[in-house]
Each structure stands twice: as C-alpha cells, then as structure tokens.
Amino acid sequence: MHRTKVKVVEEALDANNTIATANRADFDRDGVRVVNFMSAPGAGKTSLLERVLGDLRGIRPGVLEGDVQGSMDADRLAHLHVPVTQLNTDSGFGGECHLDANMVRSALPALPLADIDLLVIENVGNLVCPAEFRVGEDARVMVCSVTEGEDKPLKYPLMFRTCELVLVNKIDLLPHLDFDLDKLLYNLDAVHPNVERMLVSARTGEGIDAWRDWLAGVAAPHEVHA
Amino acid sequence: MHRTKVKVVEEALDANNTIATANRADFDRDGVRVVNFMSAPGAGKTSLLERVLGDLRGIRPGVLEGDVQGSMDADRLAHLHVPVTQLNTDSGFGGECHLDANMVRSALPALPLADIDLLVIENVGNLVCPAEFRVGEDARVMVCSVTEGEDKPLKYPLMFRTCELVLVNKIDLLPHLDFDLDKLLYNLDAVHPNVERMLVSARTGEGIDAWRDWLAGVAAPHEVHA
C-alpha cells in the first residue's frame, strides 16, 4: 500500500516538473529570471522584499504572492510600485499549503512578463511541501528566523537542502533569545554543507545590502557579481 | 476540472473522518482524552509541553510526536518520564506536512493507552493542512508566537477557527518587537470570535499555570474546572 502511495506521489511530481519546464520556457522567452521565496509563516519574507524591491540596482522586479487566502502581503508591497499579482490557493485549488507549477502557470497571463527582469514568487508559509514542487524557478531562497530555534534544518531538511541561499532573519532579537547561532549554522551545514547564508534583520536593515545584491545578481549575474 | 478536484478532496476528508471515528472509539475504550496540538514551525509547542507535562495535577499524560523526520522533540521530552511515541511522516507517508487519522491510527499499537489519561498529539509544524484533518481528538489547541506578526489569523483562518484554545506565546519578547498585540487579538476575533486565548511565555513561565490547568481540565473536566 505504501508503495502505491509513493508511486502516486512520484507521478504527481513528474506532472509538476513537466509544467515547471513549460513555465521556464515562458520565462526565458521574456528574459525573466525567477526566485522561489520560501519560509515558515511569519519568518519575514514580505518584510525582506519590502526592504529591497524599491531599489534593485536597475533590475525591474515583479512579485507573485502565494497565500491561502487574502492579499495582505500584496497590499503591503503596493507602495513600492512594482507589479504584484496575487495567487490564492483556496480558490479552485482546495486550500493548498504550497504553490505548484500549475498554480503558477494559471497566474502567468496576469503577470506583465515583458516588463519584468526578476520575478519573486513568495510561496505559502510552510517548511514542508513548497520544497517538493519546482515552479520553473532559477533559484530558491528560504528565510529562517532565529526565533524558530536551532533545530529547523534537521526537522525540515528538504527545504534547507534545496535552497541556493538561506537568509537567517531577525538577528536583532538575538540578545533577547536563548538561541545558539553557531548551533543553527552547524545544523544547516549538516543538511546542506556550505550553502550560502546571510545574517539579516529586516527590522534594523543589517545585512540587507548583501541580500539586495544577491537578488539583483540573479537577474544580472555579470553586472552585479562581477 | 476544479469541481473534480474538490470532490476528490472531499472524499479524502470523508475517509479521514471515518478513521478518526475509529481512533476516537479506541481512545474512549481506555478513557483517554486527546488534544491535537498545532502551530507553525518554531512557535514553541514542545517548550510549552516541557513546562507542564511533568506535573499535570495528577493527570497521566502521553505524547505522540509528529515530525517529518527525526525525534528531536521526543528526545527533548524524555527527561519528563512520560510515555512519548514518535511518528515520522516521511516513512511510508511520503513526507507529509501534517498528521491525518490514518497516521495516528498506525501509531496506536505503540501507545500505552491504558496508562494514559491525556494524549497530546504534537502535529507537524504547519498552519495549513493540520487544520483539515481530524485525528480523533477531543480538543484542538494552537500556538501562535508574537514573532510571527499580527496577520496570521487572517492568512490561515481555518487553523485559528477550528481551535478551542489559542496560546499566544513568546510574550516575553513583546518589548523588543514592532508588534501590536491588540491587533492580533482583533484579527483573532475576526476569524474566531471569543475563542479562549492565553498569553504565555514558555521561557519565563508567564501564563503557564493557566495553560497547565486548561490541559489537565481536558482529561478531568469536573475536578479541575469545578
């Protein structure tokens, strides 16, 4: 019975990858680079976007906001005057806890791809399923808040393992927590050795310039990372 | 096509409810009351259990730990000398982001139900899918950390709506956050008016006595809530 279940899961992931490849082709056609941006609920994804999208070194960003319900994060980004499209997973998708390639595909007609260099897809807040579904992205970034404890890489290894960058956020709170940063980084290296990581605070701005440069570099690797 | 998807989801939930009812009958046979304990990753579920399970007003507790991988939370509870059973959702379940009634059923043979008055099922850290699957519980409790922001009830309404108790944790951090507690409680009442809520800190112990009494009261409602 378990074997059948695993087979069904594999077929679903194969179907997802086929659609992700189609998304990728559409992005390439318009020269759009794509970041899949993931974290647990409340780790600070939207705040970290608010900090950098307004001045991305000449790169023109766009955002696809994935939420179960509502458009609160999209509303928060409105003042930045960048194109933001809302994708709700409870409308027609049954309250999904993640974005998959087909959901992203359904949103493509609403995205002004010709006017975007870099599309950030803010996934549903969840450390499990978003990691299982490619959506056609160039890079995956996850946010891990120091308030969540040092054990998260070991408990949600796939998420930490499939990312190109881990943002360790809310470091302004370190003096007020019983939290061992070295232990978190040790656990991170245990599941994804030497993955690029940045210590940041969306609140104080610490580390934000490096995050801005990294994000801009996805869309213009030669200009920014030269 | 969307209608078909919704129908499949409904059938899955019907099958889940049938198994949840069977779990409920097994729990009743041994006089075990059951709490389904849920939150986002790192909100403090295990810390809040560590605070109270060692002295639960004469109630004999047991714990079923749900995690994608590993037994870190079960290990943390070992010093309390209460029965703890680990249930991993990646073994045979394909890396599920939640517990369902069938997974809990598969763990029942490993639980010493005759020696337990109150079983706490610590669900996988996730604010979406755990709320959709009943497992045979008497009550649902969720933990919401003040570090996650005020908007979470509006973004994950089903989770907040299906709980009998909401623990607002990490209130010791309030002086260090840009967080409006009144706004959180306003949003909570918007999705679940007047749901019981407690302000707690697993770190300082604030509010923990009330949480202990509430939990003991699930297993012995007359003695504790009299």
Spatial CA neighbour of A215 closest among A145, A135, A118, A134: A118
Pull the structure tokens for residue A11.
């077929």
Q: Which residue from B minimizes the CA distance to A157? A: B69
- Tokens 């995956």, residue? A140
pLDDT band at residue A12 using 50, 70 and 90 as cut-offs: confident
Total residues found in chain B within this entry: 226
Determine the residue type at A36. N
For residue A222, how many C-alpha atoms fall within 13 Å in the half-sphere facing its CB? Answer: 0
As a whole number, mean pLDDT of residues A105-120 equals: 96
More confident residue, B138 or A4: B138
d(CA A226, nearest CA chain B) in Å = 37
Over residues A211-221, the pLDDT tens digits come to 999 999 999 86
E-assigned strands of A146-199? Answer: 165-169, 196-199
**Chain A stretch 118-147, residues whose beta carbon is closer than 8 A to a beta carbon of chain B:** 124-129, 132, 145, 147
**Chain B stretch 10-39, residues whose beta carbon is closer than 8 A to a beta carbon of chain A:** none
Q: Which residue from A minimizes the CA distance to B70? A: A155
Beta carbons of A97 and B126 less than 8 Å apart: yes
Q: Which of B125, B158, B178 sits opposite A127 (nearest CB)?
A: B125
Torsion sign over Cα A125, A130, A135, A138: positive
- Tokens 């609140």, residue? A203
ipTM of this predicted structure: 0.91
As a whole number, mean pLDDT of residues B92-108 equals: 89
- ∠B173-B176-B182 over CA atoms, to 5°? 70
Question: Is the CB of residue B78 less than 8 Å from the CB of residue B49?
Answer: no
As a whole number, mean pLDDT of residues A154-163 equals: 96
pLDDT of residue A3 exceeding 80: no
Q: Which of B5, B9, B155 sits opposite A67 (nearest CB)?
A: B155
The pLDDT score that the predictor gives to residue B1 is 41
B60 touches chain A (CB under 8 A): no
Q: What is the pTM of this model?
A: 0.93
Q: Residue B45 phi/psi, 5° resolution?
A: -55, -50
Total residues found in chain A within this entry: 226
The pLDDT score that the predictor gives to residue B94 is 67
Q: How far is B36 from B72, CA to CA, in rounded Å?
A: 19
Q: How far is B86 from B201, CA to CA, in rounded Å?
A: 26
